[in-house]
Amino acid sequence: MKLYRFAVILFFAWFSVTTHAETMRAPGKTAIASAHPLATQAGMDIIKQGGNAFDAAVAITAALAVVEPNSSGLGGGGFYLLHQAKNNSNIFVDARETAPAAATRDMFLDKDGNVIESASRNTAKAAGIPGEVAAMAHLAEHYGRLPLRTSLQPAIKLAHDGFALYPRLRGIIEYSKDKLKKSPIAAQAFLQKNEVPALGFVIKQPRLAKTLQRIGEKGSGEFYTGELAKQMVKSVRDQGGIWSEADLASYHVIERMPLVGKYHDATIVTAPPPSSGGVALIDMLNVLSGYDFSKLDASTHKHLIIEAMRRAYRDRAQYLGDPDFVRMPIEMLTNPLYAAGQRNSISLSKATPSSLLPDVTDVADESPQTTHFSVLDAEGNRVAATITVNLGFGSGLMAGNTGIFLNNEMDDFSVKAGTPNAFKLIGNDANAIAPNKRMLSSMTPTFIETGKGMLIIGTPGGSRIISMVLLGVLDWLDGHDAMHVVSLKRFHHQYLPDVVSYEAGALSDEEINSLKQRGDSLKEFSSYGNMEVITWDFDNNKIEAASDPRGDGVGWVY
Ligand code: DON
C-alpha cells in the first residue's frame, strides 16, 4: 500500500514540475468571478486592503456563506485548488466533510437492508463534520497576507446589516420552505411569518454574524474545540445526530497533490480524489485527444463526447472513493493508454448501452446548490474553489443558535451499493460509509494552461459538474472567451441512468436525430449549473472574469 502511494506521488510530482513556466508572469490585475456580486465585492475589498488571492478566497467563502447560504456555508466543506505564483506550485486543499466516528456502513438502511427514504438527506445524521472553517483558517495562515479576522469582516457586516433577497435565493427558499420550517432559527432568518419574503426583503443573520465574529476573534479553534464546537455537537445530538466533540477536534484539512494531465498542448491541473471530477476530466480528455474533430461532423463530435462521459462516469461508480480508505487505480484511469483502450470500444455510429450495473430508479431533481468561485490576483496567484453544503440549505437543520446550516453531505456516500443518491449517482464499496471517511465528490475546480493562456474554471451542479467542466474546457481550448464558456448550452451523460440530458439549444435537431439513430435516449432538462470562469490571454495580457448568465453572479477585473 505504502509503495503504491509513493509511486502515485512520484508520478504526480513528475508532472507537476513540468507544467508551463509562462504562468510565472504577473497579470498586474485582479479578477474575481463568484455567484453573488456581494461576494465578488468582498473579495475585491480584501484585495484593496493588501490581501492576495488567498485572502480574497477567505473573504469570498465567508461572504457566500451569508448571501448564498443554500449553496455553501460554515456547516459545509469544499475543495480549494491553489496556484502560488512565487514558486509556480499548485496545491489542492481538501476541506471535504468527514463521516463522524460513530457512522456505520448501513446507518441509512432499515433492519431489512432497505434504504430509509431521505434519511441521508433530511436528518441530523446526514451531516458530515464540516471543513469550511478549517479551510479558511488554513488559507489565511499558510497562504494569505491578512489575518483571518480581517478577511472575515465583509461577511460579518453582510450577516449583521443584511442583504436584499434576490430572485434565485427567493426561488430556493420557496422550494425549501418545508425544510426551513423545521428549524425555528432558519425560519426566522429566511421566512417572514413562515412565508417566503418578497424580493428585496432584507435578510439579516445576527446569529451567523456573531458566530463569524467569534471565529475571527478566537480563530478556527473556537469552531473545532471551543464553545461553538460544544454548542454544535449538543444541537446535532439533540436533533438525533451522532457528532461528538472528538469528531470536530480531530477534523483537519488535507493538502493533496493536484492531478495533472495533458490534452494536446494544454496542461490540466485539477481535483484529485476524494473528488471524482479530476480523474474523470483527465480520462475524458485523454479519450477525446485521439480524434481529429476537424474531420468529423458536429453530431459525431457530440456523440464522442457523450461516449467519453459514459465511460468516465462508469469508472467513477466502480473505483472511486476517499484515497485514505480505498486503493484506486488512478494511474491507470488517467493514463492515455487506458483511454486508447476505451476508444477501441467506441463506435462512431452507435451508442454503447450502459448495461453493466443495475438499473436505477428516478428521484426528484434537486434545486441547484453548491457554489464555485475563481480568483486571479495581480501577482498571478490563483484560486479555483468549489464549496458546498450539498443539497439546498444542506439538511435544512441548524446547529443550535449559531446560524449555521448542517450539511447533508452523507448522501454523497453510496449508502447502499447500486442505489442512486440525490444525483442518481451509484457507487460500491469504494464509496461506502466508514468512520472518519470523506464521501466521494464531483466538485472539479480546475486550471488549464497552454503556452498562450490560462483558464480557471468550476461550477456547482452535482453529478453534472464534471461534464460541465469538460464542455467548458473544450470550449475555451476551441478559442472562445470567458463569457462564451459560461454561457455554453450543456449536455450530459453519467453512465446510469442511460440517458443524454441536455439544455434547450445544446443539440441541434440534426444532432438529436443523429444521436437517436445511434441508439441514445435523450431528455431535455431545465438549465443547470452556475459556472465562474477567469481567462488570461498571455500575449495581450487580456483578463476576463465571467459569471454564468443562469445565475446572479458577477465577474470583475480590476
Ligand atoms: O460534492 C458533491 O459532488 C456534491 N455534494 C455537490 C453538490 C452540488 O453541486 C449541488 N448542486 N446542484
Tens of pLDDT, residues 298-339: 999 999 999 999 999 999 999 999 999 999 999 999 999 999
Burial of 48 (0-12, 13-18, 19+ CB in 10 A): exposed
> Where does the pLDDT of residue 356 fall: very low under 50, low under 70, confident under 90, or very high at 90 and above?
low
pLDDT of residue 368: 59
d(CA 56, CA 36): 14
Q: What percent of the chain is predicted at pLDDT more than 70?
A: 93
| Chain position carrying cell 450530459 | 492
Residue 199 falls within a domain, yes or no? no
Distance 463 CA to ligand 1 centre (A): 7
**Is 370 an active-site residue?**
yes
CA 61 to centroid of ligand 1, rounded, Å: 16
Query: Measured from the CB, is residue 76 less than 6 Å from ligand 1?
Result: no
Confirm or reject: Cβ of 368 under 6 Å from ligand 1: yes
> And the C-alpha cell for 7?
509511486
Confidence of residue 364 (pLDDT cuts 50, 70, 90): very low
- 72 CB within 6 A, ligand 1: no
Which ligand 1 atom sits nearest the alpha carbon of residue 528? 12
Q: In total, how many domains does the chain have?
A: 1
458: Cβ below 6 Å to ligand 1?
Answer: no
Is residue 188 included in any domain, yes or no?
no
Q: Give the residue, by CA position, lying nearest to ligand 1 atom 9.
A: 462
Nearest partner of 37 among 430, 504, 448, 532, judged by Cα: 532
Question: Is 169 part of any domain?
Answer: no
For the cut 90, the answer to whether the pLDDT of residue 17 exceeds it is: no
Measured distance CA(313)–CA(279) in Å, rounded: 10
As given in the structure block, the three cell numbers for residue 473 are 474546457
The three-class DSSP label of residue 43 is: helix
- Is ligand 1 within 6 A of the CB of residue 388? yes
Residue 183 lies in a domain: no
Q: Is 431 in the pocket of ligand 1 (CB under 6 A)?
A: no
Please report, to the nearest 10 degrees, the dihedral formed by the alpha carbons of residues 199, 200, 205, 206 taken in order: -150
Amino acid letter, 117: E
Q: Which of 450, 454, 459 is nearest to 528 (CA)?
A: 459
Which pLDDT value is given to residue 418?
Answer: 86
97-111, 304-318, 359-373: which has the minimum mean pLDDT?
A: 359-373
Q: How much of the chain exceeds pLDDT 90, in percent? A: 90
**Cis omega (within 30 of 0) on the bond before 497?**
yes
In a domain, 194, yes or no: no
Does residue 4 carry a pLDDT above 70?
no
Q: Please check whether residue 333 lies inside any domain of the structure.
A: yes
Cα(419) to ligand 1 centroid in Å equals 17
Q: Which of 9-18, 396-405, 524-533 shows the lowest mean pLDDT across its residues? A: 9-18
| Residue at 197 is within a domain | no
Question: In the predicted model, what is the mean pLDDT of the chain?
Answer: 93
- Per-residue pLDDT tens over the stretch 256-285: 999 999 999 999 999 999 999 999 999 999
In a domain, 291, yes or no: yes
Dump pLDDT digits (tens) for 460-503: 999 999 999 999 999 999 999 999 999 999 999 999 999 999 99
The secondary structure of residue 85, as a DSSP letter, is G
Burial class (CB in 10 A: 0-12, 13-18, 19+), 308: buried
Q: Pick the atom of ligand 1 nearest to 96's CA.
A: 1
Could you say which of 30, 40, 370, 386 is catalytic? 370
Please give the sequence-ordered ranges of beta strands (E in DSSP) within 134-238, or none if there are none.
Answer: 163-164, 202-203
Q: How far is the CA of 44 from the centre of ligand 1 (A)?
A: 26
Mean pLDDT of the region 220-225: 98
* Biggest CA-to-CA distance, the chain: 64
Q: Where in the sequence is the domain holding 154, given as residue range(s)? A: 1-162+204-558
Burial 333-355 (b: 16+ CB within 10 A, else e): bbbbebbeebbeebeeeebbebe
Cα dihedral: 469, 470, 475, 477 (round 10)? 110
Round to whole Å and give the CA distance between 42 and 161. Answer: 14
Spatial separation of the C-alpha atoms in residues 53 and 72, rounded to whole Å: 19
pTM of the entire predicted model: 0.94
Residues 6+ apart with CB under 8 A from 148: 58, 136, 137, 140, 141, 215, 216, 219, 220
